[in-house]
Structure 1
Amino acid sequence: MTLSPDPTEPAALPWEQPNTRERLGSLVVSECEAASAEEDTRVRVRVRSRSLSLSLSREEKRRRRRTSANYRSAHATRERVRVEAFNVAFGDLRRLLPILPPDKKLSKIEILKLAMCYISYLNHVLDA
């Protein structure tokens, strides 16, 4: 809103125009209303985003949590620890198996197959 004189009235300074106080008062009121409407919009947006986060399903919340960098980093660390424990267990099993030569490198599936055969052999020895 501008404070220029009406084009139909003779040119005069704003403070010389009739009803100047009313015009200035309405200007201030309309600016305050616009500001409060803007704040209301921000509040509504915040409330909607909160209600949106509250209305997410469990699966959607889980998906959002899993996409965070902290979650991925922690998950990668847990996975490394799990794989290391898995490899240690295979190494322990490998040392218990009688294999010639003892320094021969075996795959995990070979270790499992040899363990099955060795257990079967031990059962046969106990039964005899």
Structure 2
Amino acid sequence: MLSPEQPEPELPWAQTNSFLDTLNVQCGSAPGEPVDEQGKARSVHAPVLSREEKRRRRRATAKYRSAHASRERIRVVAFNVAFAELRKLLPTLPPDKKLSKIEILRLAICYISYLNHVLDV
């Protein structure tokens, strides 16, 4: 513990003039780097990215791909459940016959038109 008479030791974070101040660096820019009208550094090396390029880079991250894959799995499961429910409503012989998705849709169209015909008669 320091006594009141002892001066505080010179600590690098306590100095009034920091290393950056000695270099006259403004807002994180390097000396000679262009600065816009608001005093913010403009990067000479990084090109301005279009909205599409930003989207591509964001989609290239592992976190985004993982989240997208899990959303896609949920969507496919819901899609298959909907086809299974539609399949249960359609009459076929034998009743447990395995149908493809396109066969289910075609059979549903035929069954709906048959039901409309029955109602019209």
Provide the residue aligned with 1:113 in structure 2. Answer: 106
Change over 3 Å in CA distance of 1:120–1:76 after alignment to 2:
same
Partner of residue 93 from structure 1, selected from 86, 89, 96 = 86
Of the two, which has the highest radius of gyration? 1
Change over 3 Å in CA distance of 1:67–1:85 after alignment to 2:
same
Q: What is the aligned-residue RMSD (CA, Å)?
A: 3.2
Q: Which has the higher helix share?
A: 1
TM value normalised by structure 1: 0.61
Unaligned runs of 5+ in 1: 1-34
Number of residue pairs aligned between Structure 1 and Structure 2: 93
Determine what percentage of the aligned residue pairs are the same residue: 67
Change over 3 Å in CA distance of 1:100–1:43 after alignment to 2:
farther
Partner of residue 74 from structure 1, selected from 67, 86, 91 = 67
Provide the residue aligned with 1:125 in structure 2. Answer: 118
Unaligned runs of 5+ in 2: 1-21, 34-40
Partner of residue 95 from structure 2, selected from 98, 102, 113 = 102
Provide the residue aligned with 1:3 in structure 2. Answer: none
Q: What SS does structure 1 have at the residue aligned with 2:54? A: helix
Q: Which has the higher contact order (CA 8 A, sep 6+)?
A: 1
Partner of residue 48 from structure 1, selected from 43, 49, 55 = 43
User: In the TM superposition, what is the alpha-carbon distance from 1:89 to its structure 2 partner?
Assistant: 0.3
1:19-70 residue CA offsets vs partner (Å, 9 max, x unmatched):
xxxxxxxxxxxxxxxx949x964894x8517x947x3211111011000000
